[in-house]
Amino acid sequence: MTNIDFSPLFRSMIGFDRMTSALETAYRTDPGGYPPYNIEVSEDNAYRITMAVAGFSEQDLTLEVRENILTVAGCRAEEEDSSGRRMLYRGIANRSFERKFQLADYVRVEEARLANGLLYIALRREIPEAMKPRKIEIRTAEATPALDKTSERLLVETKVAA
């Protein structure tokens, strides 16, 4: 097993320690193949997961988001054969599954819909206003005394009123 050393990144990057643990987890996780899925980017901040869940109904599927992890699970009840049929070959999977997706901060699930054996999960990243880029005004040395004079005038008016 190969270990990746992220220590050179920590010299110039602050707050990315969660990213390194996520990369290590992804490296160790077995991808599995059931059910197959696609992840698409439709806009800058819009994503869609499409999962092939043929044979599952809405009641058989559960979606849950907890601590930035989206869990999609499918569980079908075993069909009991009361007619006494014997299966010679079973090629259609009737197995339960659980698939987990790590969501970035500020990514939320908008909707999920099931159509023609495909489960569509729409996701959107919503960056809070406080996190969006903003321009900071740079004051010059000449602007500082004007602010001080205004502060002095307010201080004098407050003392006179008292």
Per residue in 66-88, pLDDT (tens digit) is: 988 999 999 977 665 556 778 78
The pLDDT of 129-134, averaged and rounded, is: 82
Q: DSSP states of 111-157 as a string?
A: EEEEETTEEEEEEEE---GGGS--PPPPPPTTHHHHHHHHHHHHHHH
The strand pairing partners of 94, in sequence order, are: none
Does 17 have pLDDT greater than 90? no
Counting residues of the chain whose pLDDT is more than 70, the rounded percentage is 65
Which of 159, 137, 162 has its CA nearest to residue 147? Answer: 137
**Amino acid 149: pLDDT:** 56
Strands, sheet with 46-52, edge to edge from the N-terminal-most edge strand: 37-43, 46-52, 118-125, 107-115
What is the rounded distance in angstroms from the CA atom of residue 10 to the CA atom of residue 19?
A: 11
Ordered structural domains, the chain, with CATH: 1-30 (no CATH), 36-78+89-135 (2.60.40.790)
Backbone angles phi, psi at 150, to 5 degrees: -65, -40
Classify residue 12 by its DSSP letter.
T
Does 47 have pLDDT greater than 90? yes
pLDDT: which is higher, 148 or 23: 23
What is the rounded distance in angstroms from the CA atom of residue 56 to the CA atom of residue 117?
A: 7
Q: DSSP states of 58-69 as a string?
A: GGGEEEEEETTE
Does 61 have pLDDT greater than 90? yes
Backbone angles phi, psi at 153, to 5 degrees: -60, -45
